[in-house]
Amino acid sequence: MWPAIIVASLGCYAIKLLGVSVPRKWLAHPRVAHVAELLPVSLLAALVATQTFTDGRHLVLDARAAGLLAAIVALRFKAPFLVVVVVACLVAALVRVAA
């Protein structure tokens, strides 16, 4: 188990370090800068989608979707961050109890 833990841990740190160490000159080109700016949005959106609608390698529609919907509604009402998260958890848990 330890070799896998060490490889994964140091490897993930190396990836992080590499990302912040790319010379700024390489990123100065407007198009490259634009891509770098869009990356977090696209990665986080993909993360939200996969965390909500997949289970392993299957597409599923379950209580998490209700939780996400509740989060969107809470955001519409400009709820603070923790409220958004708690509302999503509560709705997902309630949908599971009801089902």
Partner 1 sequence: MADEELSETDRSWSTTRRGVLRDAIGVGVATGAYGLSFGAISVAAGLSILQTCVLSLVLFSGGSQFALVGIVGAGGAPMTGAATALLLGVRNGFYGLRLSRLLGLGSWRRFAGAQLVIDESTAMAVARTSPRSARFAFWATGLSVFLLWNLATFVGAVATHALHDPRVLGLDAAPPAAFLALMAPRLRSREPQVVALVAAIVAIASVPFVPTGVPVLLAAGVAVLAGFAGSTGFGSRNSSSDDDSSAVEARA
**Rule CB under 8 A: is residue 1 a binding residue for partner 1?**
yes
CB of 66 to partner 1, least distance (A): 8
Site for partner 1 in 13-32 (CB under 8 A): 13, 15-22, 24, 27, 30-32
Candidates 87, 94, 60; CA nearest to 72 is 87
Residue 71 in contact with residue 84, Cβ under 8 Å? yes
Q: Name residue 58's beta-bridge partners.
A: 55
| Dihedral in degrees, nearest 10, Cα atoms 15, 33, 50, 64 | 110
CB of 56 to partner 1, least distance (A): 8
| Dihedral in degrees, nearest 10, Cα atoms 24, 29, 32, 33 | 70
Q: Tell me the site size for partner 1, rule CB under 8 A.
A: 74
**Rule CB under 8 A: is residue 98 a binding residue for partner 1?**
no
CB of 99 to partner 1, least distance (A): 12
Site for partner 1 in 54-83 (CB under 8 A): 54, 56-59, 63-64, 66-68, 70-72, 75, 80-82
Q: Which two tokens stand for residue 31?
A: 């198009």
